[in-house]
Amino acid sequence: DAGITQSPRYKITETGRQVTLMCHQTWSHSYMFWYRQDLGHGLRLIYYSAAADITDKGEVPDGYVVSRSKTENFPLTLESATRSQTSVYFCASGISANTGELFFGEGSRLTVL
């Protein structure tokens, strides 16, 4: 199906473990983003990418790593998970700049014990 898909939808892990959240889009959108959603903070940008092999930090990048070897994939890795990274993570894509229109996945709920 066309669209943007995230996996896993739910993940429980332990402090110190590495976790990778996957994001795949079928539209060939240039822009891709990772946001985290926390009560009282709204959506905060972790990393974004303007094209394959081009990534940059957002507002809260510490503890996260991204890569984008292919246009359609934008995985987010927590190298050593901490409890403060318990959150709902959303991947999004955008077709062009300056429109304000992003297409979000359904989210990955991560719990770090």
Q: Which of 1, 2, 69, 101 binds another protein (CB under 8 A)?
A: 101
* Rounded Cα–Cα distance for residues 88 and 108 (Å): 6
Tell me if 76 sits within 8 A of 8, measured CB to CB: no
Shortest CB 105 distance to another protein, Å = 5
* Identity of the residue, 5 or 17, whose beta carbon is nearer to another protein in the bound complex: 5
* Single-letter amino acid code for the residue at 36: R
Binding-site string for another protein from residue 44 to residue 83, where x marks contact by CB under 8 A and - marks none: xx--x-x-------xx------------------------
Residue position matching structure tokens 């905060």: 44
* Rounded Cα–Cα distance for residues 78 and 40 (Å): 22
Residues 27-46 that bind another protein (CB under 8 A): 31, 33, 35, 40-45
Number of Cβ within 10 Å of residue 61's Cβ equals: 16
Q: Which residues bind another protein (CB under 8 A)?
A: 31, 33, 35, 40-45, 48, 50, 58-59, 90, 92, 94, 96-102, 104-107
